[in-house]
Structure 1
Amino acid sequence: MKILQRYFAVTIFQAVAFVLAAFLALQAFMDLTGELPRVGKNGYAIQYVLLFVAVKLPGHVYEVMPLAALIGTIYTMAQFASTSEFTIMRASSMTTGMVAWMLAKIGVVLVIITFIFGELITPRTAPLAEKIKLSGRGTTISTEFRSGLWTKDIVKSEGMTGEVIGSRFFNVREVRPDGKLVDVKLYEFDNNFRLRSITVAKTGTYQGTNKWMLSEVKENIFTNPALLKPGSEANLANNYAQDSSMIETRTSATRELISEITPRILSVSRSDPERMSASELALYTRHLQENKQETERFKIAFWKKLFDPLAIFVLMALALPFGYLHTRSGGVSLKIFVGIMIGVSYLLVNTLFSHLGVLSTWPAALTAIAPSLIFLLLALGALWWVERH
């Protein structure tokens, strides 16, 4: 059995590596053709394009690995069937359960590789690829947005601790590759959504431990003497009053700002959820929840990060019945074509459930795992059919 396990592993790994290389070459070609029309504009040279395409490849490995595992396993099983090797193995008392167990052990290796690319490599290469593209074009991150980058945090009485006394909206026109903020605007509201201050700063530099150092700061503070102490009758009538005629203006060369917004939160707030790691998604989802913002899309992306690599087991189980089909049921090329159609169907169903989950507010975990459960039922049904026939 150890010899058979090694034989299966080597053959499947070779087939998966070949299919993976083909898909990566196709993805690289598509990325290259997408960037070529911009070459020569604003100093965007071809070397930036090639580097950008190369740095994006690890992200594509995570995306296409399940499909490569499916097609590679189908190719191997179809080859075994066409040469009657699988028939001989079955005649030598090898059961379907034994083959499934061998494929599962091979799948563990592929799942681990997928997790490594998804959690450790892609979250670092995706921002780097974006920086390379923007540097080559001579632009910065937030100039992609007409009004700059927007985010929100809560204001507490003692900086990062104490009771919540309001909320703050960040607007940054430009985010430099080193994390420095340019043209910062802060709109601060109290708990009754009255505007309390507008702060404008030329730059913002992160000092660590949730501290920003703002430079060339101008702060407009709105006051309302009509507001009395909480609980008084006059305060009830003026609870939402805003006397904009009372404005105090302060200017300073520098000012320290304590905020839960950090460069990491800023980086993930402008990232595609599919390119973020599970830890970054968990961090940003928590930030959105604290600020009472919509989190459904990021919750679904978080659970997909956990469940999508495990779909490799399901897709490899779908490939197992192809070993039971004789050559008269179709050649290797036909079976590979069927495998590609199954893989494309899985990707479409997976994407469909992601959108339906956001629109219908389904439970995020169920939305993420539902496509795998559907195809697992198909795999079990196919195995039952080939066993009966």
Structure 2
Amino acid sequence: MNWRIKQVDKLVAYSTLSAVLMTWLLLVGLDAVRAFISEASDIGQGNYGFAAVTLHVLLTLPRRAYEWFSYAALIGSLLGLGTLAGTGELTALRAAGMSKLRICLSAAWSLGLLTALVAAMGETLAPGGEQQAQSLVLQAKSNDIAIGRRAGGIWARDGDTFINAKQGTTRQVDGLREVRLADVRVFEFTPRGQLLSIAIAESALHRAGEWTMEKVRRTEFGEAEAKSTTEASTRWKSGLDPRMLALSIIQPEYLSISDLRRNIRYLKRNQQDAQKFEMAYWGRLFWPFNTLLLVVCALPFAFGALRSGGMGKRIFIGMIVAIGWSFLQRSLVNVGAVYGINLAVATLLPAALLALVAIGYFRRAS
């Protein structure tokens, strides 16, 4: 088979890319409108007005574009080949001796560069825009920016020390970024799990690279007694990274590969569960491969119109099967995580099985 780019490849690429771009624009636009309507209900809280809502939605556009691209690539590719089938051009390509595999790969190759650009956007603009959007909303609704509020507050581990805070804020003061934790409890254990001390502070402030605890009541446990002391202010020697606190409350799917890797190392170093970050990491790493593979495996549904009618029905079935497979893949990854299967293998295995099915189909179709 001659794999040089020919005029027919350009024909398939133009039809595919134009349909993908139109579908992508439609999906992202609808999602942005839905987000705008949802955020508009909060107008009036603090300084959160129409301009802030608009800027918030604009900042999240890269993340939304990244999330919707796989679906746009799938649906647009099917519609692109469907257009060629409707005009008889797909029949002419088959009659000229162009195999189904070659046509499908021509469509996939045309999406290769676009997929790479979207993947790069997902590592740069998307995470940065999402974090800026969250900061914008919190800054507009209140004077400080909340690091995180959840049941039980914020939890972190620093070696044999466990930290709990009911809430956290961050703000810019004199050109420096400071982080303040409120209602802090620090539990210090021995390596064997014996409780050494409990420190309860009204707040803990991180500024200029060091922590300071304020209004502290510390209880130290001995073999036969407990000793309590109080201090107005004391330095807190802790490796607790404020940046990790901020990253930990952002959905892992919104982080870049480098931030996910950094979070995984941090959690594992402190013997904490990093599974959800590992799932997001491997999913992000294999995302370009899975996207293009899904397109190649779904495109054979477009050839049904060459033998019989009902092109729209066949394309619809192809979309449902492919999108259903995407949800099935996520389920299999979750099952793999539950049963302790290596998450890289669990993420890649469904795609590998799909690739084997596709190879078998194209061999029979050739």
Q: Distance in 1 between matches of 2:343 and 2:291?
A: 20
1:312 corresponds to 2:311: no
CA radius of gyration, larger in: 1
Residues 1:24 and 1:141: Cα distance change in structure 2 (over 3 Å): same
What is the TM-score of this pair, normalised by structure 2? 0.85
Q: Tell me the CA shift for residue 292 of structure 1.
A: 1.7
Shift, 1:6, TM fit: 2.7
Deviation per residue, 1:329-365 (Å, 9 max, x gap): 3455334422431343133213322432333333211
- Would you say 1:50 and 2:54 are equivalent positions? yes
Structure 1 spans left out of the alignment, 5+ residues: 155-165, 225-240
- Residue 93 (structure 1) aligned to one of 91, 97, 100: 97
Q: Root-mean-square deviation (CA), in Å?
A: 2.8
Are 1:205 and 1:212, in contact at CA under 8 Å, matched by a contact in 2?
Answer: yes
Report if aligned partners of 2:149, 2:166 keep a CA contact under 8 Å in 1. Answer: no
Counterpart in 1 of 2:199?
A: 198
What's the offset of the Cα at 1:117?
2.4
TM-score, normalization by structure 1: 0.80
When structure 1 is superposed on structure 2, of 88-97 and 306-315 the one drifting more is 88-97
What residue is the counterpart of 2:156 in the other structure?
A: 151
Question: Whose RCO is larger (CA < 8 A, sep 6+)?
Answer: 1
Distance between the aligned counterparts of 2:340 and 2:64, measured in 1?
A: 28
Q: Which residue of 1 aligns with 2:216?
A: 218
Residue 285 (str. 1) matches residue 264 (str. 2): yes
Paired residues for 1:91-170 under 5 Å: 91-138=95-142, 140-142=145-147, 144-145=149-150, 147-154=152-159, 166-170=160-164
Q: Give distance in 1, aligned partners of 2:43 and 2:308.
A: 49
- 2:224 and 2:56 map into 1 onto residues whose CA distance is 50
User: Given that residues 100 and 300 in structure 2 are in contact (C-alpha distance below 8 angstroms), is that contact kept between their aligned partners in structure 1?
Assistant: no
Q: How big is the shift at 1:91? A: 3.1
Q: Distance in 1 between matches of 2:147 and 2:198?
A: 24
**CA displacement 1:352-379 (0-9 Å, x = unmatched):** 2243233333321122223323433443
Which residue identity is paired with 1:351?
A: R
- Larger CA deviation: 374-383 vs 355-364: 374-383
Distance in 1 (CA, whole Å) between partners of 2:195 and 2:297 is: 58
| Matched pairs, number | 354
SS at 1:99's partner residue?
helix
Equivalences for residues 1-389 of structure 1 within 5 A: 1-138=5-142, 140-142=145-147, 144-145=149-150, 147-154=152-159, 166-171=160-165, 173-177=167-171, 178=177, 180-183=179-182, 184-192=184-192, 193-198=194-199, 200=201, 202-207=203-208, 211-214=209-212, 216=214, 218=216, 220=218, 222=220, 224=222, 241=223, 243-244=225-226, 246-252=227-233, 255=235, 257-259=237-239, 261-326=240-305, 329-384=308-363, 386-387=365-366
What is the distance in 2 between the residues matched to 1:179 and 1:66?
39
For residue 381 of structure 1, report the CA deviation from its aligned partner. Answer: 4.8
Match of 1:40, SS state, is: coil
Report the CA distance shift for 1:85/1:28 in structure 2 as closer, same or farther (over 3 A).
Answer: same
Identify unmatched segments of 5+ residues in structure 2. 172-176
Cα distance in 1 for partners of 2:78, 2:285 equals 25
Provide the residue aligned with 2:174 in structure 1: none
What percent of counterpart residues are identical?
A: 24
3-state DSSP class of the match of 2:124? helix
Query: d(CA) in 1 for partners of 2:322 and 2:50?
Result: 34
**How big is the shift at 1:53?**
2.0
Kept after mapping to 2: 8 A contact 1:59/1:126 = yes
Following superposition, which runs of at least 4 residues in structure 1 exceed 4 angstroms of deviation?
A: 384-387
The SS at the match of 2:237 is strand
Could you tell me which amino acid in structure 2 is paired with residue 220 of structure 1? R
C-alpha offsets along residues 299-357 of structure 1, whole Å, 9 cap, x if unaligned?
22211111122112212212432453336634553344224313431332133224323
